[in-house]
Amino acid sequence: MKFLILMLFISCGHETPPEKDLADSDGDQIRNYLEESSDLKKYTASTKPFKKMKAKLSFRANTQLVTLEMSNVSDLEKITHSLMTKRKDLMKKEDFFDEWSKLRPMNPDLGLKLLGKIYEVTLLFDDSDENPDSIQLNGSHLADFKKEVKVYLTGKIIEDLLNSRTFLTLARKDSDRVWSADSDIRKKTYRVYWNDGNGSQIFYVSKELPLEKFLQLNGILNYQPFSEYGTLSWNDESKGWWIRDLGAGDWVVIASSERELAEAREKNFDKSTHEVQRLNGQGKGILNLVKAPEARLFLKIRGWKSLNTYRERVTTSVRGAGHQEGTQKCWHWHRDVLPSGDLLITTEEILSSILLATGSKIIPASDLRASALEGLDEQGSYLELMIDSTETNFSLQLPSLPATTFTRTGVYQWECEAIARETGGKRTNDEGHFHLSVSAYIEKMIE
């Protein structure tokens, strides 16, 4: 009889309900079954970015009261583009994990030189909706968080804070989550620094969801990798999706154009502008550049020149011989200079004209050609050279031209009756002037 009842129950269409997915794939301590409506929710951690906080850091140096404005506000859009374009060994990805938030000085470096003693430092926080649990120094507990906190720091640490060589952070715990350096979110996810052209954010994506699938869920089917070894030049202004592997499983994804990314990369370099010339065949001045051994050097060079052509003519005059006047006829051969207007110089001509050296060693033109490319911007075409060398000192010049390129101009020859022919005139080069405008970009090794 019991067997019959069971058979009737099954035949009526009643099935055992499916088991709930109790896993937490993204470590945000929200079970998967509560987020089944969306794979993005299931595999992307729900996070709570820090709210804006400001504080005043003050201490007394001798009799002077020093006060610094501090803030945890950061420009995530700038940070995201920096991660896309900066060298990997210069990145500071740990700045942005939202378990904690950096306090940075808003004042510039005050140039203070403090004694090697311990200073009493007061941190006074403005009112905020954020309520951190603790204040950390370089990731280690410094003090419990209160509106006003007194701590003791050495002069060296304070100087490092001013120069962003060390940092204070605000740390918090959430009653619904495990917030720690070994939290579930950090263990179970990788980070995607994201900018879609409308704003930036950070996704914490489950390691169970590969990046390609994550991009597909966001409607991104076409994208291309971005290389840290790219150039400062660009060819296309149309927008597309770009990705870059940041290492340790993290990625940056940006909707941008080649031009915007080249301009973002340029911000990782210190720029200076220079003029290098050759006038009447004579090189004028040498451009000297100094960089760190690890830093890359980019040169953007554009130029123009003028060329001389000549017009021949002969004039006559009459001069006296001895005490007699007007009895001798003279002929004067003139060569007049007809300069051209400014002519643009081709990139190949720039390459074949410059001398780029490190120390006393000239870099062969073949090596320069290997890294050379022709760029185009609003001002026209230019030559771009990238130098990735551990050498630190570089010089660029235009060498003087050989004697065979000079012509005598003005009255270069004259002859009078009964007087031998004589020559003179001015040495004029067939090249009037050769002018280079050089923009040098030296990579910043410290932000």
Residue 204 lies in a domain: yes
Domain end residue (candidates: 171, 203, 237) = 171
Q: Do 95 and 226 fall into the same domain?
A: no
Residue 21 lies in a domain: no
Q: By the 8 A CB rule, do 382 and 375 touch? A: yes
Q: Do 257 and 278 fall into the same domain?
A: no
Q: Do 239 and 299 fall into the same domain?
A: no
Q: Do 303 and 316 fall into the same domain?
A: yes
Residue 193 tokens read as: 């620094």
Residue 13 lies in a domain: no
Q: Do 253 and 305 fall into the same domain?
A: no
Higher pLDDT, 266 or 172: 266
Q: What mean pLDDT is predicted for residues 274-282?
A: 96
Residue 277: pLDDT band (50, 70, 90) is very high
Residue 363 lies in a domain: yes
Residue 49 lies in a domain: no
Q: Do 402 and 309 fall into the same domain?
A: yes
Task: Please give the residue range of the domain that contains residue 117.
Answer: 54-171
Q: Do 292 and 403 fall into the same domain?
A: yes
Buried b or exposed e, range 394-423, using 16+ CB within 10 angstroms: bebbbeebeeeebbbbebbbbebeeeeeee
Residue 10 lies in a domain: no
Residue 410 lies in a domain: yes
Chain-centre distance of CA 125, in angstroms?
Answer: 34
Domain end residue (candidates: 216, 251, 267) = 267
CA distances in angstroms from 71 to 45, 64, 161, 216, listed in the order given: 26, 23, 13, 37
Q: By the 8 A CB rule, do 127 and 51 touch? A: no
pLDDT at 227: 82
**What contacts 372, CB < 8 A, 6 or more positions away?**
347, 351, 383, 384, 385
Nearest to 265 by CA among 223, 298, 301: 298
Residue 447: pLDDT band (50, 70, 90) is low
Q: Do 276 and 381 fall into the same domain?
A: yes
Q: What mean pLDDT is predicted for residues 9-37?
A: 57
Nearest to 395 by CA among 354, 337, 435: 354
Burial environment of residue 250 by CB neighbours within 10 A (0 to 12, 13 to 18, 19 or more): buried
pLDDT, one tens digit per residue, over 151-165 is 999 988 988 888 778
- β-strand partners of 277: 284, 435
Q: Do 223 and 334 fall into the same domain?
A: no
Nearest to 183 by CA among 28, 46, 47, 51: 28
pLDDT at 295: 93
Residue 17 tokens read as: 């309900």
Buried b or exposed e, range 304-339, using 16+ CB within 10 angstroms: ebeebeeeeeeeeeeeeeeeeeeebeeebbbbeeee
95 pLDDT above the threshold of 50: no
Higher pLDDT, 46 or 374: 374
Q: Do 303 and 242 fall into the same domain?
A: no
Q: Do 297 and 402 fall into the same domain?
A: yes
Q: What is the 3-state secondary structure of 317-358? A: EEEEECCEEEEEEEEEEEEEEEECCCEECCHHHHHHHCEEEE
pTM of the model: 0.73
**H or E segment and range at residue 406:** strand 406-416
Tell me the HSE value of 152 on the side-chain side, using a 13 A CA sphere.
3
Q: By the 8 A CB rule, do 335 and 408 touch? A: yes
Domain end residue (candidates: 267, 301, 335) = 267
Residue 321 lies in a domain: yes
pLDDT, one tens digit per residue, over 425-446 is 899 999 999 999 999 999 998 7
Neighbours of 287 (CB within 10 A): 19
Number of H helices, E strands in the chain: 9, 28
pLDDT at 97: 54
Nearest to 199 by CA among 294, 292, 76: 76
210 pLDDT above the threshold of 90: yes
Least confident piece of the model among 22-31, 117-126, 279-288, 378-387: 22-31
pLDDT, one tens digit per residue, over 346-400 is 999 999 999 999 987 999 888 899 889 988 887 888 999 999 999 999 999 999 9
SS3 84: helix
Sequence-ordered strand ranges (E) for 50-206 = 54-61, 64-71, 100-105, 118-125, 134-137, 140-144, 148-154, 168-171, 189-195, 200-206
pLDDT at 195: 93
139 pLDDT above the threshold of 70: yes
**In 59-217, where does DSSP find H-type helix?**
76-85, 155-162, 184-188, 211-217
Strands 250-256 and 189-195: parallel
Q: Do 190 and 158 fall into the same domain?
A: no
pLDDT at 356: 95
Chain-centre distance of CA 355, in angstroms?
Answer: 26
Number of domains in the chain: 3
7 pLDDT above the threshold of 70: no
